[in-house]
Structure 1
Amino acid sequence: MTKLQAAGNHYGHDVSAHVEAEPQGVIALDLGLVAVWELAAPLLRVRDNDAHTLYALGLAHALLESHPEADPAIVLPAIMLHDVGWSEVPPDEVLQAIAPGGGRPDLVLQHEREGARLAADILAQTRYDASKVPEILAIIDGHDSRRTALSIEDAIVKDADKTWRLSPHGVDTVMDWFGLDRDQAMRLCSQRVHGHLFTQEAKVMASALSALESVTLWPQRQALLSAD
């Protein structure tokens, strides 16, 4: 569980007045996407895709800051809706699609195809800018299976989706998907992310996340945690 409140105040003084309301890097959910999220969320409950989607959305925001040429009105709804298609795959078959040593490419293609169909309906219901919809759907229909990027927007969606695997939440999730310990999950995620990214910024993010996870597993860090 994420720590939201301090366990104490070692300094002993209130410094909250010095905390800026909107420092660089802090983001909020675009109000224009709230209606999209409300329709997408019930379809994202499979395989913890709802939390995955929100974290990937945050990574996409960060990548957009480095790519002003990319259109957020395409990237953000595409990453929010990219995995709604898993709701159309039988739950007991979902992990077969990406299992190490196995894989079901047919299921990957099914979730992309169904995802584009469901996304089209959600975007129509929310009256999203119709001029953006074709590119959003093209990104969703191929976000996993297509090995090339159609555009910078597609590259950012692909990179945000993959880089999530190396976040603490991503590693936690993969551990439980496949019954791996943290070291095994971190190594599996690393091999499935590094070498498969398009933007330089995502490559740096992924390297930083892998480094932090590696340090967490060092015996020196584990010894400190045990002492606490």
Structure 2
Amino acid sequence: MDSPTSTRYHRDVRAFIPAAAEVPGYLTMPAAHAAIWELAKAHLAVRNNDSHTLYAYGLARALVERVEGADTDVVLPAILLHDTGWSTVPDDQILDAIAPGGGRPDLVRHHELEGARIATQILTTLGHPKPVIDEVVAIIDGHDSRREAISLNDACVKDADKLWRVTPHGLTIVQQWFGLDHDEALRICSARVQPYLLTDAGRAMGLALAAVASIDQVPQRAGLV
């Protein structure tokens, strides 16, 4: 038996830790999704799209548990593949395409079309049913340029994609991309996320993430453990 990890409580509490399967929200990636990831990750190794995709996948997993009627067989492959098309855009142009106050809608559209093509190839290779492939491709083809959702599954993908921006990881990456401090990143990201979320669950998650990020920077929090 390992020694207790706490310096305050001199007893071992590990016997009371539940199995992962019993913990709400605790997730791992099942084999079917891991297979998609293995084929997608080479297309995601640009501008932090790989880590963004994994966090967005986690958010999508939480969303589909709370959005009645959402189809995990569509939403989760779609979120794993939605940004693969950025691999076909020159790396030095990607930030131009997504920067606040500017943007390159032509490149945004290009990455959607290429992402749809790549998704078709990967899901066909893995033997996914054609109706699933068709719906995933329809979602990816417009996931950024199309503001309105074409389906409940599309709404979940859109929300998970946007919610990443107000996660700790998303805020850190946005700070690095555009030379912002934490407060600036939180304000610009939250303003570009909260009004455009499409599901009640997504809106609740967005406000919760923004609230936690806000508390991180109030003066009352400074200096506390």
What TM-score results when the alignment is normalised by the length of structure 2?
A: 0.94
Which residue identity is paired with 1:138?
A
- Structure 2: runs of 5+ lacking an equivalent: none
Letter of the structure 2 residue corresponding to residue 17 of structure 1:
A
Shift of 1:130: 2.3
Alignment of 1:102-181 (within 5 A): 102-181=102-181
Task: Give the aligned partner of residue 188 of structure 1.
Answer: 188
The answer for the alignment partner of 1:10 in structure 2 is 8
| Deviation for aligned residue 1:220 | 1.6
Deviations 1:136-184 (A, max 9, x none): 0000010001011011000000000001110000101100111111111
Deviation of 1:204 after TM superposition, in Å, equals 0.6
Q: TM-score, normalised by structure 1?
A: 0.93
Q: Which residue of 2 aligns with 1:89?
A: 89
Q: Provide the C-alpha distance between the structure 2 equivalents of 1:101 and 1:68, rounded to a whole number of angstroms.
A: 36
Cα distance 1:192–1:18, how it changes in 2: closer, same or farther (>3 A)? same
Report the Cα distance in structure 2 between the residues aligned to 1:108 and 1:201, rounded to whole angstroms: 27
Q: For residue 3 of structure 1, what is the aligned residue in structure 2? A: none
Over 4 Å off, 4+ runs: none
Tell me, what secondary structure is at the counterpart of 2:69?
coil
Is residue 67–residue 199 contact of structure 2 (8 Å, CA) maintained in 1? no
Rounded to whole Å, the distance in 1 between the matches of 2:222 and 2:69 is 43
Instruction: Assess, with a 3 A threshold, how the Cα gap between structure 1 residues 13 and 51 changes in structure 2: closer, same or farther.
Output: same
Which amino acid counterpart does residue 9 of structure 2 have in structure 1?
Answer: Y
SS at match of 2:198: coil
Matched length: 220
1:26 and 1:45 mapped to 2: Cα distance?
A: 26
- Kindly provide the CA deviation profile for residues 161-211 of structure 1, in whole angstroms up to 9, marking residues without a partner as x: 001110000101100111111111111111110100100111011001111
Give matches, 1:13-52, under 5 Å: 13-21=11-19, 22=21, 23-52=23-52
Identity of aligned residues (%): 52
Distance 1:8 1:51 in 2: 31
Deviations 1:19-66 (A, max 9, x none): 111212111112111111001011111110111111111111111111
User: Which digits, 9 at most, give the CA deviation of each residue in 1:90-130, with x for residues without a partner?
Assistant: 00000001112211111100000000001111111111222
Secondary structure in 1 matching 2:206: helix
Deviates more, 1:23-32 or 1:76-85: 23-32
Task: Give the distance between the partners of 2:128 and 2:34, measured in 1 at CA.
Answer: 12
Matches within 5 A, 1:59-98: 59-98=59-98
* 1:7 positional shift: 7.2
> Which whole-Å CA distance do the structure 2 matches of 1:155 and 1:78 have between them?
11
AA partner of residue 88 (structure 1): T
1:78 deviates by 0.1
